[in-house]
Amino acid sequence: MPHANERFVGTPKCTANVTSNHKAGDAATSVTVHVTATCTGVVYDMVGAENIATNLLKAESEHDTGGGYALAGKVVTTVTQEIANNNGAVVFVKTQGVWVAQIDDARKAQLASLITGKTQNQASTALLEQSDVAKVDSITVSSGNTLPTNARQITIVVQNVPGLQGLQGTPTTNAGVGTATPTNTLTSPVVKPSPNVTPGK
């Protein structure tokens, strides 16, 4: 029997051996029959395979993004194919995750400087041209038609981005939207799609 973390590849092959203390046609008041079955199969460590695939995805995502992104939620793994051969098992694992840009106070200050003196439309366009901004929820100007020329009067509020499970319908909690005077600018960090990693391919 496989252990709790192991899984069969395909169906185990079983052979039966039947023995009895009498042959067919013998006269007997009782017959004792012994049946033994020997089954063989290939198993693999499913948890281990998923952990390897998850670590490969994290390493590849770090390489592809160049840093500055963090995993939102958890990596989701799915075994897509299992093949048994003379050397054991080959397992294909699909891994997915969402990496989100990390916008710190220094980056918020840069974004604020980028949009000083601009109209709402101009500011929105300028923000969306940034690689770490996926969308602009809203821009509110307290007075006039343009944002202040002093970047310190502009507040950037970053919204949380759900992980992959959250994007598929799992409830998530968003950061509250703060207020600022005279201008409140709301932006969201970019959702960085992560590549799939298929070990053994």
Per residue in 140-153, pLDDT tens? 888 888 999 999 99
The three-point CA angle 38-82-4 to 5° equals: 60
Given a cut of 90, whether residue 112 has pLDDT beyond it is yes
DSSP per-residue string spanning 148-190? -SSGGGEEEEEPP---HHHHTT----PPPP---SSEEEEEEEP
pLDDT of residue 10: 78
More confident residue, 176 or 5: 5
Handedness of CA 191, 192, 193, 197 (dihedral sign): negative
Q: How far apart are CA 78 and CA 64, in angstroms?
A: 22
Question: What pTM was estimated for this model as a whole?
Answer: 0.60
Q: What does each C-alpha distance from 98 to 1, 73, 131, 168, 187 come to in angstroms?
A: 37, 8, 16, 12, 18
Determine the pLDDT at residue 110: 93
Tokens of residue 179, six digits = 């207020």
Q: Does the structure show a pLDDT above 60 at 32? A: yes
Query: Which pLDDT score, from 0 to 100, does residue 167 have?
Result: 59
What backbone torsions phi and psi does residue 76 show, to the nearest 5 degrees?
-100, 125
Q: Over 70: is that where the pLDDT of 62 sits?
A: yes
